[in-house]
Amino acid sequence: MSKPPDLLAKRLLEWYRTHRRDLPWRGETDPYRVWVSEIMLQQTRVEAVLPYYERFLARYPDVESLATASLEDVLATWAGLGYYRRARLMHRAARSVANMHDGRWPSRHDQLLALPGIGAYTAGAIASIAFDEPRAALDGNAHRVLARLADERRDIRRSAPRRALRRLGQQLIESTQAGERGDFTQALMELGATVCAPRAPKCLGCPWSSSCEGLAAGTAHALPVKGARRPLRTVEISLAIARRGDLMLVRKRSSEEPVMPGFWELPAVEGPPEGLAGLGPLCAASCEQAASFSHVITGTSYECRVYEASAEAGDPEGGYRWMSPDELGRVPLATISRKALRLRAKHGDLRLEDPLAVPP
């Protein structure tokens, strides 16, 4: 760094107080609410989180209400936000706080790290924002900003450069004054989200441009360096929409399933639509495609095709049942099925209620 850390921190905080976005969690110091926002924002765009944050807190305003809720209700409230393991771990963490800490959020850093789903970043964010502790919290945005600031050209997926960036972040936050640590954490993330963007960084508007070693070296646009990822695996999914009036045929995934256990979904198979015929209570599936979309998650691109289908008379078996749109809005519905229904409603004669809306 070409400038002392206290000067860099001061410049960043001045910039943040003028340019920060107006977001519902800004200025929040309740550790429960800080935790909810930080977990939701992991690997998820701010725009997608906004309606979920408000709705989640309206349903579960404190850790006790979340701890006493059923997991199915929590997953239904979370449905559509993705990365459902976050919701499961939040539910476990809330119960840990209720049972082991008498419903009071622990303030010690080691106690935060001991809660399910809380790693170094989230613990640092809660400690600094809720408790004003000088603890570095480095998300993807912060890693990018600091890699450019320090002209760190090593692969940041490796432990040595990540430790170097953490030391830099810690040095910066320790140079702030009491009462500023939460703002500093949010300012660093805000800078990465709005100015020091992954592509085409807006260096002219950056409070650190005169001290940025990556900018001076002409390498900022290429940083941070990340090792090559494995290519996406492609999986073809065929889904069936079978209806009886306003009711739709769905099934509940087993609690033993490795992916999205306990979620409800449309009848579906990997591969072409011919595999749908005879699946559960289905007796036929049209090969005429009603909708299609891609869904990318965790290294896999799911190429989804949606078909109309018919079902046998009588009550379905094998975990299947008929549900109304209102019922579907109250249970955890798998994201792929949710997207399929939303697209079919948009382009066909299917009627759905608002609870089935998902981010595009």
Structure tokens at 10: 């001061």
Q: Is 274 a catalytic residue?
A: no
Q: Is the pLDDT of residue 355 over 50?
A: no
Q: Point out the catalytic residue in the list 38, 180, 265, 308.
A: 38
CA distances from 210 to 4, 130, 149, 179 (A): 12, 31, 10, 26
Round to whole Å and give the CA distance between 4 and 308.
Answer: 65
Weakest-pLDDT range from 140-154, 197-211, 218-232: 218-232
Residue pair 183/13 in contact by the 8 Å Cβ criterion: yes
Mean local confidence (pLDDT), 163-174: 97
219, 249, 35: which is closest to 124 by C-alpha? 35
Determine the Cα–Cα distance for residues 182 and 33; give it in Å rounded to an integer: 14
| pTM of structure | 0.80
Mean pLDDT value of segment 81-106: 93
pLDDT given at position 86: 95
Cα 10 from Cα 176, distance rounded (Å): 8
| H or E element that contains 239 | strand 233-244
Band (257; pLDDT cuts 50, 70, 90): confident
Interval 264-286: pLDDT, tens: 999 999 999 888 887 878 877 77
pLDDT over 80 (residue 195): yes
Over the stretch 302-331, which tens digit does the pLDDT of each residue have? 999 999 888 887 778 778 999 988 888 888
Question: Residue 94 pLDDT more than 90?
Answer: yes
Cα 286 to Cα 139, 276, 313, 344, distances in angstroms = 46, 9, 18, 15
